[in-house]
Chains A and B, each alone.
Chain A
Amino acid sequence: MCYLCLSFTVASLIYFVYLFYLDRQLRGIRRRLDARQKD
């Protein structure tokens, strides 16, 4: 059972890290668009 929980934890961690990375990319795009509009 602990190996099953470990697998689930590792898989969830990998998926969430990638979602976090995508979120950072989106924030960067928004920042650049805002800066461009101000110019």
Chain B
Amino acid sequence: MRLLFWCLSFCLTLVSGWMALSVAAVEPAEYNIVYIHVPAATCSLVCFTILFICSIQHLRTKNQMWDHIAAACGEVGLVFATVLNATGSIFAYAAWGVWWTPSLRLVSSAMLWFLYVAYLILRASLPDQQRKGQICAVFGIIAFVDVPLVYISARYIPDIHWPKIGFDSIWQSVAFGLAIGGALLLAATLIWLRADILKSLNQISKPALSKAEGTKYQN
């Protein structure tokens, strides 16, 4: 199933990339960065939203699975937030001649990256598994405040950054939709894989089975 997701995500990204370079190309050429930048932004916000929901569920149910998914969302979200800020800086230099400018939109996006980093540092620094889950869940809930700030500042507040993306042709809209779909599938697959790894690591770190229990499972 996971392999299917990988393949679908790869196909969608490939098709949208091909369209972005041919029928759906935007002028000037550097504006096509939008096909990489906006999907990364969408995925990072979605990851932080899922982290928020999983944090609430972990505090409510004390189930370790929610903590694993939250941790996975933190890592995958950081990857997409890094792509968001890196491609945003490259576009800023190409379009406006500066790598970064202290506008609300860019500051909130940079804050999002730092919040993800702080979340992961917090996770790595706490030794006790149970307390780690609870403290990180509280941090994840509080840090979610930045997500609506990023969205609202990008869509509704006048800034040097574009408020809305407008396309001239249907091909551009289709390529854009495929790029976002491919990126979301990639995010889902990465979260799934990472959560499985964390679950396995958690199981391995438990004390080994006793000899009697081991014999029982072998038979």
How far is B156's CA from A38's CA once the two chains are assembled, in angstroms?
Answer: 60
Partner of B91, one of A7, A15, A26, A36: A7
Known: A4-B33, A7-B37, A7-B91. A14 touches B201 (CB 8 A): no
Q: Do A4 and B32 touch (CB < 8 A)?
A: yes
Contact-size category for A: 10 to 19
If A10-B90, A22-B190, A25-B201 are given as contacts, then 16 extra A-B residue pairs at C-beta distance below 8 Å, sorted by A number, are: A1-B29, A1-B30, A3-B29, A3-B90, A4-B32, A6-B90, A7-B37, A7-B91, A8-B36, A11-B36, A11-B86, A14-B79, A15-B83, A22-B193, A25-B197, A29-B204
Contact-size category for B: 20 to 34
Contact partners of A39 in chain B: CB under 8 A: 208
Q: How many contacting A-B pairs (Cβ < 8 A)?
A: 58
Known: A14-B79, A22-B197. A4 touches B29 (CB 8 A): yes
Q: B36, B40, B76 — which one has the most chain A CB atoms within 10 A of its CB? A: B36
User: Which residues in A have some Cβ–Cβ distance to B below 8 Å?
Assistant: 1, 3-4, 6-8, 10-11, 14-15, 18, 22, 25-26, 29, 32-33, 36, 39
Q: List 24 A-B contacts (CB under 8 A).
A: A3-B29, A3-B93, A4-B29, A4-B30, A6-B90, A7-B33, A8-B36, A11-B36, A11-B40, A11-B87, A14-B79, A14-B83, A14-B86, A15-B79, A15-B83, A15-B186, A18-B76, A22-B197, A25-B197, A25-B201, A26-B197, A29-B204, A33-B204, A36-B204
